[in-house]
Amino acid sequence: MNKHHMTITQLHSKFMLKALNILRNDTRAIVWQEVFDNGVPLSNDTLIQVWNYNWVREMVKILSAGHRVVFSSSWYLDYKNFHWNDYFKDDPRLMVYQKDPTLDLDKIVGGEVCLWGETADDTDVIMKVWPRTSAVAERLWTGLDYMNPPKEFVTTMDRRRIEEHVCRMRRRGIAAQPPNGPGFCIGAA
């Protein structure tokens, strides 16, 4: 780096540009948001995964540039004090719509729940993943009415559905965390 008078950001950008050029024409790349932020030239079919803070502003920038987005920012399972309903109520499409209703929300193509090894091990990984990941899947599957967002993001029906799903997982031997506080699953091991 010193020999070529490059910063870490410049080196990372050079590496990413080389890696992206190696991909075949029929392959779509997905990159972390810092590749976009660092100004690496990206084709519009490159997916950009938003994972960092200030994600609404970041998504508006990326969508305005014509790229598609995969969202992860508030769906990190490393947030130790988050309950499943904290993950469920975050809808990236609604937040972006509220910031700029002219953007094409269809370019938000999905989401990913992330869990990193420094906060989980074999003794608690399953309980960290379930039911919080189920809540994100439910949010991605159902979405919200952006024109008329609900007054209450987590309804009694949502709670019942997640609880029923947790009981189903527990009957199948998956040690899912209890979703709604005290309760029980009939027939669970």
pLDDT per position as a tens digit, 145-186: 656 666 666 777 778 888 888 899 999 999 888 777 667 777
Across 6-10, 83-87, 149-153, the highest mean pLDDT is recorded for 6-10
Q: What pLDDT was estimated at residue 13? A: 86
**Domain spans, the chain:** 8-171
Per-residue tokens: 133 = 């990941």
State whether residue 44 is helix, strand or coil.
coil
Answer for the pair 146, 104: CB distance below 8 angstroms, yes or no: no
Domain 8-171: which topology? TIM Barrel (3.20.20)
Q: What pLDDT was estimated at residue 151? A: 64
Per-residue exposure over 119-152, b if at least 16 CB sit within 10 Å of its own CB, e if not: ebeeeeeeebbbbbbbbbbbbbeeeeeeeeeeee
d(CA 189, CA 101): 48
